[in-house]
Amino acid sequence: MVIMGIDPGLNATGYGIIQASPSILQVLTAGHLRPPRARPLGERLAFLYAELGTLIERYHPQNIVLEMVFTHHNYVATAALMAHARGVACLIAQEHGVALSEYPPARVKKSLTGNGAASKKQVARMVAQWLQHTDASWSADATDALALAIAHAHTGAQRQVLPLSGVIARIR
């Protein structure tokens, strides 16, 4: 399964695409997109739309994974700007017929590190360990996107081992 993690942002949108098999996670590509800051909002969103579309067409992911929106009350304006880029990611997934999944930030961190409050540095270290690969050119945005893809691969593997419907049936 090919999984694309996207860490949306208006200044930088991270992406990480992995191939997940039962025994190995392999990075296909990772990086970040930087819309031109001096351009109007619509042009910046169009840039993200085109670049994400190109990545989807090149790698054909079966799933796109986004972080659920979380913000502190002091950063509402930042969250609103980030939501524009997030909307582009949702739209491009829909238009390409790619399943969309979302996870809270703490769940992604806990999935990778065992600690829901892990630092970006800890997450990046675990991304490199899980993928048995690191690249000095990966930005924090790229490693966050890879973390999303890895967390989704783990969640999918857990579903295969223990289907949710079976768990609910036994609880009742």
CA atoms within 13 A on the CB side of 20: 23
162 pLDDT higher than 50: no
**Domain coordinates in residue numbering, the chain:** 2-171
46 neighbors 84 (Cβ within 8 angstroms): no
Q: What is the DSSP letter of 114?
A: S
CATH of domain 2-171: 3.30.420.10
The closest alpha carbon to 154, from 109, 88, 118, 94, belongs to: 109
User: Which pLDDT band holds residue 96 (cuts at 50, 70, 90)?
Assistant: very high
How do residues 42-55 score in pLDDT, each as one tens digit?
999 999 999 999 99
CA angle 88/126/2 to nearest 5° reads 45
pLDDT in tens, 21-42: 888 999 999 999 999 999 999 9
pLDDT averaged over every residue in the chain? 87
CA atoms within 13 A on the CB side of 3: 26
Which residues participate in catalysis according to the annotation? 7, 67, 141
Q: Which of 98, 92, 2, 109 is nearest to 46 (CA)?
A: 92
Does the structure show a pLDDT above 80 at 75? no
Question: Which pairs count as long-range contacts for 44-52, CB under 8 Å and 24+ apart, including other chains?
Answer: 44/10, 45/84, 45/85, 45/88, 48/8, 48/13, 48/85, 48/88, 48/89, 49/88, 49/91, 49/92, 52/6, 52/13, 52/15, 52/88, 52/89, 52/92
Whole-model pTM: value is 0.87
Give the pLDDT mean for 113-142.
89
